[in-house]
Structure 1
Amino acid sequence: MNEVKSFLASKTIWGAVVAVAPTVLGLLGLNVTGADAAEVAQHGNAIITAAGGLLVVYGRVKATKAIR
C-alpha cells in the first residue's frame, strides 16, 4: 500500500495546475476569455472522441475472445 507514483501521475497535481493556470497566464499578460476556453474545450472533445474511436478499433483487433 506504500506505492510511490510519479509527480506527474498525480491527478491532484494536474487539477491544481489547471485551477491556477488562468491566474498565472493573466500575470504573464495572457488573458484567457470564455471564448478561448470554449475553443479549447471543443478541441479537447474532438481529441477525446478520436482517441475513443481508435481505442475501440485497437481493442477489437487485439481481442482474443468473442463477446457474449
Structure 2
Amino acid sequence: MTNEKQWYLSKTVWASVATVVLSCSSFFDVSLDRDIQAHLADTIMQFLTALSGIIAFFGRLSATTLISRKEI
C-alpha cells in the first residue's frame, strides 16, 4: 500500500466505530419495554454488531490505501 487517504474515508474505521457504538448500546439504555420486543432488540443489536465487525475485517483486507493522519 503506497497510497494514503484521510481516516474518515476508511471503511474499516467506520465499521469499527459502529461496532463500538453497538456493543456499548446498553450503556445508553437502548432497550424496549416488553419481553418479546427486548429479545428482538437484543437479536438485532447482536446481528448489527457482528455485521459491522465483518465489514471492518473485509474492509481492511480489501484496502488499497494507507490511512493518513494529516489534517485537511
With normalisation by structure 1, the TM-score equals 0.51
Q: Give the superposition deviation at 1:38.
A: 0.4
Larger radius of gyration: 1
Name the structure 2 match of 1:48.
48
List runs of 5+ in structure 2 lacking aligned partners: 1-32
Measure the CA separation in 2 of the matches of 1:48 and 1:61.
Answer: 20
Q: Give the superposition deviation at 1:34.
A: 1.1
With normalisation by structure 2, the TM-score equals 0.48
RMSD in angstroms over aligned alpha carbons? 1.3
Measure the CA separation in 2 of the matches of 1:34 and 1:53.
Answer: 28
Name the structure 2 match of 1:36.
36
More helix as a share of residues: 1
Q: Which one has more relative contact order, counting CA pairs under 8 Å at least 6 apart?
A: 2
Matched residues, number: 36
Structure 1 stretches (4+) deviating beyond 4 angstroms? none
